[in-house]
Structure 1
Amino acid sequence: MLENMKAFRMVVECQGFRAAAIAMKLSPAMVSRRIEKLEFEVNTQLIKRNSRRISLTAAGEQFYQRCLLIIDEYESCLRDVKSLSNVVSGNLKVGIPHSISHLHIIPSLKAFLERYPDLKLDIVTGNHYMELFSHGFDLALQCGPLPDSNLYYSLIGYWRKHTCLSRSYALQHGMPSHPDELHKHTCLLHFDNHRRSWKFMIDNECTEIRPHYISRVSNSLDLCNMVHQGLGICYLPDFIIKAGIESGEIITVLDDFMPPPLPMYVVHINPRPSTKEQAFIDFIRTLNLATAPDPAS
């Protein structure tokens, strides 16, 4: 019955039989049969089906909540038993933002893999925190607030954004002393910044400023390289420009106007991370990606 309950949970969370089948690496027919068996066992309809979407019956809603508790408890028991051997092994699929993977994860990965030779690690770059169930991720790194408070997570720390430019740009064009002066400068925006604005604290209020820009780029690493080349002013996370600041090639400006630090989480599919998941979370912590003070302190 447990396998049928898992199929039911996946159908609900993937909002469809086909998506659930892909996530579980089963055929849609097999998933459908498991749901039929489950409904036969409980002697009631749990899912309303139509051609476009699925929805739960009243009994299905109640049963789904109980399924979560039962499955989580079962998987927790398995992890506790496996952890007794203290061996980190198996497959681990993690989603990591491209810039963090390139600058921090990959350069430090050798020691981690040498420490856990029985672990097979899949790293997929991008923002995958909402694809844990539908795409089979075990963990995903999220830089910023969680849009869904029901997700399980481990807080890594806090990071902040900086308005930054190169020394060569500063020598040629000067530096803004107030966010309102950004319209006098050449700025570089991230392509995913759909509002085309940067946030600043002005008179204790969070204010959006729309800077004059010459280019939008979909990759923070490319934006950082453009800053190094003196092409303009950018708004980037501290973990991306850290090396440039330490070398003195990059300068931060408008520091007194920057918004409070943001959280960084590792989101996981289970309430308590497994041994292999915890090993990777601990590895993330050693990289010191989020060292800004807690804004609540």
Structure 2
Amino acid sequence: MRLPDLEAWAIFAAVVEQRSFSGAADSIGLSKATVSKAITRLEAHIGQSLFNRTSRRLALTEAGKPLAEHAARILAQARAAEEAARDAASAPTGRVRLAAPMSFGISNVAPLLATFLSAHPGVEIDLHCSDARVDIVAEGFDVALRIGDLPDSSLRARRLGDIATHLVAAPAYLAEHGTPQHPSDLSRHRVLGYSNVLGPWRFQHPDGSEVSIKPEGPLSANSGEALLPALIAGLGIARLPGFIIGPHLVSGAVVPILEAWAPAPIGLHILTPPSALRPARVEALIAFLSATLRDPCAGHPVVVQA
């Protein structure tokens, strides 16, 4: 049985990552000619072209696009294997790329990192806070935190805990439109949608009954922070996590409604690329986040003044 040309696959991944043959050659310490020969060798082996080449542009072919993800995994796993061997004899070192939702990353994740970095002085963290749903493998992230239901994928996922959500409105909105007494009443109200939490809103009563509604209204956004001005101005009702809405509940800018019907909590998950082989620095950060984020909103309790 002929063994796969792992070197050529790794070089292919480097070319895709750097978007050029010369950039890949510089990044991996090989000559441009060696890189070009490896790509030609790989194309001959699989019987398909991987790139469309012009004097000014290098682009993946349709055949090359799905193979690029496989190549990236091969390169990442090889690097992880080498790093794991080195890390076994030393303290974790190197950079970890971490993605987190914008508001949660700033309020709950960033304050924890000083503790982690103090305990692991050889580790560097590249934190990306964004409400866009990143492609972990394609964008080269080692770890990602994600809030909400997860679509089926090849990523490895672990649920860290539940984030409480609160159904709220400004007093001015309720004075003008009335206060809903049952979740079904929301169909007659203006609802501000937090689009990062997909699907219908689910409510559960202490008696065990459940209700689901599909929110509709004048504004939706993939950032809960972006809903706050409209919410506080009295333009609608919103369901938001405690780490976003907590301070505004405390100040009285918004008030809770339908308190007998608890909105279903949303899950906080930690995601990693599909390979089970990870460098020690990544394992250390995963263990730290898993321990410190078990109660995601512990640092932001909602206490409404009577």
Common fold, TM-score beyond 0.5? yes
Note the alpha carbon deviations across 1:215-246, whole angstroms, 9 max, x for none.
44453123246545665421113443345567
2:63: which partner in 1? 55
Equivalence map 1:270-285=2 (5 Å): 270-285=275-290
Moved more, 198-207 or 121-130: 198-207
Amino acid at match of 2:95: N
CA distance in 2, matches of 1:271, 1:181: 47
Cα distance in 2, alignment partners of residues 128 and 22 from structure 1: 23
**In the TM superposition, what are the counterparts of 1:209-228 in structure 2 within 5 Å?**
209-210=215-216, 212-213=217-218, 215-224=219-228, 227=231
* Structure 1 residues 163 and 7: CA distance shift in structure 2, 3 A: farther
Residue 136 of structure 1: SS of its match in structure 2? coil
TM-score after normalising by structure 2: 0.66
- 2:214 is matched with which residue? 208
Distance 2:159 2:47 in 1: 35
Distance 1:258 1:48 in 2: 56
Contact 2:97 2:125 in 1 (8 A): yes
Corresponding residue for residue 110 of structure 1: 114
Within-5 A mapping of 1:157-176: 157-166=161-170, 175-176=179-180
- Structure 2 CA distance for partners of 1:180 and 1:194, relative to 1, 3 Å: same
Partner letter of residue 156 of structure 1? L
1:43-101 deviation per Cα after TM superposition (whole angstroms, max 9, x unaligned): x3254558573327xxx98xx98x89976764554344233235222111111110111
Quick check: 1:126 aligned with 2:126? no
Q: Tell me what 1:26 maps to.
A: 24
Compared with structure 1, are the counterparts of its residues 243 and 33 closer, same or farther at alpha carbon in structure 2 (3 Å cutoff)? Answer: farther
Question: Residues of 2 paired with 1:242 and 1:156: CA distance?
Answer: 21
Give the Cα separation in 2 of the matches to 1:39 and 1:241.
Answer: 54
How far has the Cα of 1:32 moved from its partner? 5.5
| 1:128 shift after superposition | 6.2
Aligned to 1:84: 88
**What stretches of structure 2 of length at least 5 have no aligned partner?**
26-31, 53-59, 299-306
Query: Which amino acid in the other structure matches residue 208 of structure 1?
Result: K
In the TM superposition, what whole-angstrom CA distance separates every residue of 1:187-208 from its partner, at most 9, and x where no partner exists? 4334x4799x852358656442
Question: 1:72·1:271 contact (CA, 8 Å) conserved in 2?
Answer: no
Counterpart code for 1:199: W
| CA distance in 1: counterparts of 2:193 and 2:245, whole angstroms | 15
Shift of 1:151: 1.3
Alignment of 1:109-258 (within 5 A): 109-127=113-131, 130-166=134-170, 175-183=179-187, 185-190=189-194, 192=195, 198-201=200-203, 204=210, 206-210=212-216, 212-213=217-218, 215-224=219-228, 227=231, 232-242=236-246, 251-254=255-258
Contact 2:202 2:210 in 1 (8 A): no
Is contact 1:23-1:134 (8 Å) kept? no
**What secondary structure sits across from 2:24 in the alignment?**
coil
Question: Equivalent residue of 1:99, what SS?
Answer: helix
2:303 aligned residue? none
Q: Contact between 1:151 and 1:268, CA under 8 Å: does it hold in 2?
A: yes
Post-superposition CA distance 1:116-137 (Å, at most 9, x none): 2222221112256652232222
Amino acid at match of 2:238: C
One-letter code of the match for 1:278?
E
2:196 and 2:296 mapped to 1: Cα distance?
A: 22
Match of 2:304 in 1: none
> Is the Cα–Cα contact under 8 Å of residues 163 and 252 in structure 1 kept in the other structure?
yes
Structure 2: distance between partners of 1:177 and 1:130:
38
Name the counterpart of 2:296.
289
Q: Secondary structure of the equivalent of 1:88?
A: coil
Percent of pairs with identical residues? 23
Change (3 A) 1:278 1:241: farther
Distance in structure 1 (CA, Å) of the matches to 2:259 and 2:234: 19
- Secondary structure of 2:63's aligned partner: strand
Show structure 1 runs of 5+ residues with no match: 12-16, 292-297
- Residues 112 and 290 from structure 1, CA distance in 2 versus in 1: closer, same or farther, beyond 3 angstroms? same
Partner amino acid, structure 2, of 1:45: I
Between the aligned partners of 2:175 and 2:288, the Cα distance in structure 1 is 40
TM-aligned CA deviation for residue 140 of structure 1:
1.6
